[in-house]
Amino acid sequence: MDYLALATAIATAVFWYRGATFENIPALFWVGPSIAISAITIFAFNRGWIAVLLGQAALFVGITAYRVLRDGNRGDS
């Protein structure tokens, strides 16, 4: 087992938890996908810590794109 990948997964989950509490949303909305991406990357694809970080970067881009599209449709110009 790659313990560095597991440590990276835990560190990114903590990062997403802190981000969710900062944004005042339920932490499970961000921590859940983070743990799922890390688990799939480590256990299903058998990849290391770099792949975990790339998956977390993709999650960050996805959440950012969702929030931009959601907030952009409000019409508050």
pLDDT digits (tens, 9 = 90+) for 12-48: 999 999 999 999 999 999 999 999 999 999 999 999 9
Write down the pLDDT at residue 74: 76
Q: How far apart are CA 20 and CA 2, in angstroms?
A: 27
Q: Into how many domains does the chain fold?
A: 1
Domain membership of residue 16 (yes or no) is yes
Would you state the pLDDT for residue 76? Answer: 63
pLDDT, average across residues 73-77: 68
37 Cα distance to chain centroid:
7
In a domain, 36, yes or no: yes
φ, ψ for residue 35 (rounded to 5)? -65, -40
Q: How is residue 41 written in tokens? A: 């990357």
Q: How far apart are CA 6 and CA 62, in angstroms?
A: 22
Q: Which residue has the tokens 């509490």?
A: 21
Q: Which two tokens stand for residue 30?
A: 């961000």
Containing domain of residue 12, as a range? 3-72
Examine residue 77 and state whether it is found in any structural domain, yes or no.
no
